[in-house]
Structure 1
């Protein structure tokens, strides 16, 4: 009997509570629950407080009083789902007996921070009336994400999975088997399979097939090669099998997919700034992207915003040529399958390319290579202009760094591929503090520290990103006066501490990169 038959899930109650500014609500759980919110809230459980920013999620055990308090000056919606978890206790020939059992569930108060996939899963469960089987399937995905967070990977594990993905990316054209990959990476085959699925969200076989199909899509867009040649280039010796696999994954034959070359009507789930750099305004964009596009508001004001509840008929009526999605949607298969039925989907790597590389790559895929080159010239010309303006400042050799504050006590220090940091450190060429250079930029990894340690990473000039939607931006002046850590920073005392809005700096690609670069420069030369 497999593990799925040994456990059963049943969704009991779906909750949506709207909290006004600073409002408090109380709730008595009667069964395990998962909770998320679209703004900042404080949750009190058994004498402990958990602060959730918009999109963070929390697991709550059964029969626990919960106090929820909004920290926002705007209305916050809390989404929660209660469920029961059963385990098989008797599997005799004539009966199966299941009893409630919480032994394998996550710990009470476990938080998953900043997972848009988990946020959308819980929101969908609480919003819509699905069939029972669909609810259970979605709930399993939610619990799986909590379990993955609970079973934290070590640095060695993280390094291992990155090495595996890099190897697959470089050798997907070759015959790759689970056994061979496990052997090359020094893993037991059975453990390797479990480890890979836990880390990536899909089996080794499915991941390799997905990579090959997505690479084939790019070749269909960029080249006039025959399908048979493309099949061989991405690792399929049998072109008929490749075509069947392609249709199975996309709902279209390779030839039908190729008809979408040089698309004009594009739905964007990311990469809006790069599309604008190529002279393409998306027909619609995903809700989360729209919420953090203030820096492009003038160019996107008339773009239709979509979300998981937008009816398929509405999307079909837009006559889309292409749906552009980031590769982090691999873990959201329902979204991917749904979009494939509406229009051709092109998956593009997220947060791994520089703004210039991304525009050039995307331009070659959608038939706008010339526009891409023109934009790169404009970008480099603007960068040259800003560096010239900064010359007197740069000669002072004062340090500059980018941070983000979340909640009461967490500070995020971003490496190159987040929050437009590449425009500050590489394009403008400012000098970071040694601690950030050694711990963040050299290894190219994001670092999170408690607020109390901020002085160890302080710069002469400090850019601080704060969200507007949860009310933190409005209250930063007060927090800086009340916090000994913030108040005693030399940058605060010297008036070289600059507040930035997350809604403008969360993404930094294409046209956003130019605007972000200009704003960094304006602050530093105090225009």
Structure 2
């Protein structure tokens, strides 16, 4: 289990957060099983050795570890002298989420299912800026006076930063280049591009382009183009007096019924409902 999945739509509800020091090197990690709590450890200095389900982890300055709820973990080696660390205990979410959250630009209308995803983080790793990370954790500790919701909100932001750091670290320039070129090409086009047009422009096999795009963005190229077309439709609805049929025709949809279906797939609501809900000039 080399990864940890957290729900993107729920705060990691903090149970306990604290800073500890072992100046003499007398402590070992407690032998315990926490059925309802995940544990996050960040070592500021020194070294901590932890075993979880017979997997051994050695944490040194600047490294972190997630320990999973319901799994026994313990230590067999005393901490190094002058070891200091932060820990967060937070309640485990019981729901299993399979779809990954992808960091993309927000559309004009965000469907509810956008949020019902998971954030996948490495189980263990090193932070890019240890001093900054220690400062952020100390802020969470100090925020006791502001209550558990603020602490949980800060904890969520901290885990998001770890998630973003992991994404940046694992980026492949060639893959980023392909995704960027596809996006630029689709944005510049006034019609929905065919697979042949995209392959010809990038001088690559379309199946390869399509697989790379889906893996990096979480959506197909076709769905991405639908999103762009619906963004244009929303602008037309807001900036003109065109009706559904006229907008459908202007955007070269085959008929208003297909346009309405795509609009609802992208936004979660029908164009007729959107027109009823939007602001109107009196």
TM-score between the two structures when normalised by the length of structure 1: 0.28
Q: Which has the higher contact order (CA 8 A, sep 6+)?
A: 2
